[in-house]
Amino acid sequence: MEESLQNLWFGFGVALEPHNLMWSFFGVLIGNMIGVLPGMGALSTISILLPLTYTMQPVPAILMLAGIFYGSQYGGAIGAILLNMPSHPPHAVTCLDGYPMTKQGKGGTALGITMISSFFAASFGITVMVFASPLLVRIAFKFGPAEMFSIMLLGLIAGSTMARGSPLKGVAMTLVGVLIGMVGTDINSGAPRFTFGLVELMDHVELVALAMGLFGVADFLRNVNRLEFVGTKMAVRFRDMRPSLAELRQAFFPMVRGTLIGTLFGAMPGTGPTITTFIAYAVERKVSRTPERFGHGALEGVAAPEAASHSKTQVDFIPTMSLGIPGDAVMALLLGALLIQGIQPGPQLIREHADLFWGLIASFWVGNVILILLNVPLIGVWVKLLAVPYRFLFPSALFFIAVGVYSTNSSLFDVMEVLFFGVVGALFMALEFPIAPIILGFVLGPLMEENFRRALVLSHGDLAVFFQRPISLGFMAACGLLVFWLAAFGLRGRLGAAPMRAVRVGDGE
Amino acid sequence: MIRQASALVLVLLTAVGLAVPSARADTYPSAPIRLIVPYGPGAGVDVVARVVAEALSAQMKANVYVENRDGAGGLIGTMAAAQAAPDGYTLLFASMPVTMTQLLQTTKTYDPVTDFRAVSRVLTNTDVLVANTAAPYKTFAELIAYIKANPGTVTYATSGKGTPSHLEVELIRQHYGLEMQDVPYKSFGSALTDTLANRVGFFLSAYAALLPTIKAGQVRALVVGSPERTEELPDVPTLAEAMGVPGYHADVWYGIMAPAKTPDAVVAILSDQIALAMQLPHTIERVKAVGAQVSLAPAPEFAAQVRADTERWGRVVKSIGLDALQ
């Protein structure tokens, strides 16, 4: 404990050295500026800027990359909330309520809450990282393929029914997502599935292309010639951009719950931030006394998932740094950056490169502070963007989507994918099918299949493996309960729908 | 109007003239050289490619820049390089899987022997076979005996079907006639996690990436794939020693290849310059720091190796029916 504090103090010394601080700031700034462009998710922003750091010293290089990561993540939230364009997939959930808030003229509030939530969650995640990492590393090993499958199944069931409207439509869309996720090379056999002979599809459908198409482009296709401005045309006053005290109070507990969910998931490397945000959102909707507000600009629906994604990301750094096992694709890139510096991440990293490890941890926090300092004045600028008439704003956004998606893999095929999913998304919207479950199914489906089949290979084909391990059994039981509850609730809802709705509305007001 | 048009044509011609440098050997290189890496930034191959590109840039006094063309397990970037102009200004940073990936496809993608000219082998990266410290076998001989005593029960992690970590073990399996089960993983990270948690029997992968976990005593190295024992693990035998097959090795090479019709003179210049650049003490140091070893082979020797590997992996892939899957 005391040693950790001392190390952290040493870390702050490293992170606050003027030239290190400068690189941190620079990273956050360009990450923020590039991340805000639609089509440039955290992953593509980092992979484009990664080569810049190859010639730098290890410590400033990794500090700058951490800064780029934060900046681009927050920049992505701006696009998701103001333009309904989630360039970083976890933000797909933030769109659900963030964009309706923007349409009601409360985009500034949503951005403010996002910033506060992410800062709170990141600070909590960093604390966990400093004091509880040995414990978390031990937990990580308890999660084998069987456990992973069970938790993904729970996430899929919880997430698919959370959308507004008919749960059946939600489940249907989740399955569509799972199907799209099947496209590509099957890792167990090496055989291509649903690739139609296209080499480009062997690597699976591009996640960013799918998210940008289904959300941003589809929304554009639906609104073109109908909207003059996004949100209200009223002049935005600075006072309107800051969340009020009442709004802060409203967002507080969702933020705390989101943070805890993110931390929990952070202990399980390989689960990824997207499922975390969906679960956080589903939980908020379940505990809320007014679930009907979700999807229409509920503040809780922004605070919880944003907090969850940030604490998850932060805690994910533990296996990345101490075991050399990246939690997700972004972490894998950061490991690559360490490698080029001749630093092999692994158990000895903390001992052999103490300055780098503790400097990085301290810089996480410093990076978050810089982000806040930078963005408090900038919120106004971002919101002002909405004053640009729709007929200029959205075509420009589309342009950036095309450029952003193209630049990640230098592939025109990916741009076509965006367009294709835009049309598909517009069709689903017209038929009132929810979009978000597609993303969930797309992300979780392949992970579920991979872990399911791996668990069976390891158990030599014995299905009982999912019920013999205590952790897996617990998740399976939760799945069963949830399905039972949904079925019972659905049936009751169908039998006595009218009286129940009356009671609910009465509750809310 | 006509004057304007002709001026435009002139400008265009000049631009084209500048953009497409001649392949004449006496002026080579007179423009930046594009080194295609068929994987994304930060990937293992990208990391070593950057070091080689930097060394070559300094040696040739020309800008050798890396272009990442990720996708389809290296197919997309490799095919792009095969189709590039054969003028020496587009090169491929190839690694041994370049002789494996195309074998798994049913459609014709590229042929590592006929679509490319091997310029020079540059580096090698040895493999190491590790097992959990709690596993019932402590040496390679014990592992083989254990698999023979418990046919079909031992599992091993791989980075996917038809990758070095799968096919190298497959070769060993065929040598001893063993029965065991491969477990494909999408990433090195999750394969390592399951090895650390003792969920899989063993894992054969890149030495440098596994060394920290070996040193920390979390996994045990049973055998290394290099021709000689390594400096860091002098007690771990080589595969050649353990199997009693002199010359047997399991490692991954990296080298530079050019489109098939690249002129001899350009290949000769490149091959010489690479040899000079990679023998500098500073470069050897940098290569070591990123976990590889300088291991030069001039064009003819490298070409023979590419041909031999393509045949070797072709036989293995055929024998387990991986080519018939699709």
Q: What's the one-letter identity of residue A10?
A: F
Q: Using the structure block, give the residue that is written with the tokens 């990208």.
A: B46
Q: Quick check: B213 and A324 CB within 8 A? A: yes
B182 with B208, same domain: the answer is yes
% of chain A residues with pLDDT over 70: 91
Asked if B132 and B231 sit in the same domain, the reply is: yes
Q: Are residues B301 and B227 in the same domain?
A: no
Kindly determine whether residue B155 and residue A458, on different chains, have CB atoms separated by under 8 Å. yes
Residue in B closest to A336 by C-alpha: B42
* Residues of chain B found within 8 Å of residue A267, distances taken between Cβ atoms: none
User: Which pLDDT does position A480 carry in this prediction?
Assistant: 92
Identify the residue with better confidence: A203 or B131.
B131
A269 part of contact set with chain B, CB < 8 Å? yes
Cα–Cα distance between A3 and A5 in angstroms, integer?
5
Identify which has the larger pLDDT, A47 or B172. B172
The domain in which residue B37 lies consists of 24-124+252-324
Across the interface, which of B109, B184, B322 has its CB nearest the CB of A187?
B184
- Across the range A144-169, mean pLDDT stands at 81
3-state secondary structure B12-30: HHHHHHHHCCCCCHHHCCC
Residues A188-208: tens digit of each pLDDT:
888 889 988 888 888 888 888
**A317-321, B17-21, B131-135, B293-297: lowest mean pLDDT where?**
B17-21
Token look-up 């030599």 returns A460
The pLDDT of B171-183, averaged and rounded, is 94
* Cα A421 from Cα A417, distance rounded (Å): 6
Is A461's Cβ below 8 Å from some Cβ in B?
A: no
Indicate whether B103 and B141 sit together in one domain. no
Specify the 3-state DSSP secondary structure of A225: coil
Q: Which of B290, B313, B323 to mutate to test the interface with A (most CBs of A within 10 A)?
A: B290
Please, what is the average pLDDT of chain B?
Answer: 88
Q: Which residues of A touch B68 (CB under 8 A)?
A: 47
Residue A447 to chain B, least CA–CA distance (Å) = 10
Q: A229 pLDDT exceeds 80? A: no
User: What's the token pair of residue A468?
Assistant: 């013999």
Q: What angle separates helix A354-384 from helix A107-142, to the nearest 10 degrees?
A: 150
User: pLDDT grade, residue A492 (50/70/90)?
Assistant: low
Q: How confident is the model at residue B18 (pLDDT cuts 50, 70, 90)?
A: very low
Q: Give A50→chain B minimum CA distance, Å.
A: 7
With an 8 Å Cβ cutoff, are B209 and A50 in contact? no
Based on the fold, state whether residues B87 and B150 are members of the same structural domain.
no
Are residues A83 and A100 in contact, defined by beta-carbon separation less than 8 angstroms? no
Q: Which residues of A touch B75 (CB under 8 A)?
A: 199, 202
- Binary contact (A332, B42; C-beta < 8 A): yes
Q: Find chain A residues with C-beta within 8 A of B51's C-beta.
A: 340
User: Which percentage of chain A shows pLDDT scores above 90?
Assistant: 21
Band of residue B19 on the pLDDT scale cut at 50, 70, 90: very low
Same domain, B203 and B163: yes
Lowest mean per-residue pLDDT among A468-477, A489-498, B91-100, B147-156: A489-498
* Judgement on whether residues B64 and B132 belong to the same structural domain of the protein: no
Helix, strand, coil share (%) of chain B residues, nearest 5: 45, 20, 35
- Name the minimum distance, in Å, from the CA of B192 to any CA of chain A: 8
Residues 119-178 of A with CB under 8 A from B: 140-142, 144-145
Q: What is the tally of structural domains in chain B?
A: 2
Whether residue B229 contacts residue B240, with contact meaning beta carbons closer than 8 Å, is answered with no
Q: Which domain CATH number covers B218?
A: 3.40.190.10
Q: Give the dihedral of Cα atoms B110, B115, B120, B126; nearest 10 deg.
A: 20
Local confidence band at A238 (pLDDT 50, 70, 90 cut-offs): low
For residues B147 and B95, membership in a common domain is answered with no
Q: What percent of chain B has pLDDT over 70?
A: 91
Would the CB atoms of A187 and B161 count as touching at under 8 Å? yes
Are A187 and B185 inside 8 Å of each other by CB? yes
Tokens describing residue B143: 């592992």
Report chain A's mean pLDDT, rounded to a whole number. 83
CA nearest to B198 within chain A: A141
CATH number at residue B106: 3.40.190.150
Q: Which of B202, B223, B243 is the last residue of a domain?
A: B243
Overall average pLDDT of the B221-247 stretch = 94
- pLDDT (0 to 100) of residue A179: 94
Residue B279 sits in the same domain as residue B134: no
Give yes or no: residues B114 and B258 share one domain: yes
DSSP A112: H
CB < 8 Å from B in window 23-52 of A: 47-48, 50-51
Q: Which of B48, B51, B64, B70 to mutate to test the interface with A (most CBs of A within 10 A)?
A: B70
Q: How far apart are CA A379 and CA A374, in angstroms?
A: 9
A270 sits in which H/E element: none
Residue B32 pLDDT exceeds 90? yes
pTM value is: 0.82
pLDDT number for residue A236: 53
Residue A263 has pLDDT above 60, yes or no: yes
How many contacts (CB atoms, under 8 Å) link A and B? 148
Indicate if ipTM > 0.85. no
| B64 in a structural domain | yes
DSSP codes joined into one string, A334-371: HHHHHHHTT---STTHHHHTHHHHHHHHHHHHHHHHHH
Which range in A315-329, B19-33, B209-223 is most confidently predicted, on average pLDDT? Answer: B209-223
Q: Is the model more confident about B145 or about A323? A: B145
**Would the pLDDT of A62 be above 90?**
no
Residues B95 and B150 reside in one and the same domain: no
d(CA B147, CA B302): 36
Residues B215 and B200 in one domain: yes
What token pair was written down for A83? 């333009």
pLDDT at A359 exceeding the cut of 90: no
Q: B197–A141: do the CB atoms touch at under 8 Å? A: yes
A466, containing H or E segment: helix A465-468
Which of A464-468, B21-25, B178-182 has the weakest average pLDDT?
B21-25
Domain final position from B226, B243, B260: B243
Statement: residue B172 has pLDDT above 90: yes
| H-state helical runs in A183-244 | 207-211, 218-223, 238-241
Q: Which residues of B touch A54 (CB under 8 A)?
A: 50
In a domain, B70, yes or no: yes
Amino acid identity of residue A413, one-letter, is: F
Q: Across residues B293-310, what is the average pLDDT?
A: 94
Residue B32 is assigned to a structural domain of this protein: yes
Residue B10: inside a domain, yes or no? no
Is the pLDDT score of A508 beyond 50?
no
- pLDDT at residue number B57: 93
| A347·B218 Cβ contact <8 A | yes
CA distance to A150, A315, B131, per residue, from A62 (Å) = 35, 17, 32
**B contact test, residue of A317, A322, A323, A334 with most B CBs within 10 A:** A323
**Residue B264 pLDDT:** 92
Domain layout of chain A by residue ranges: 2-232+251-508
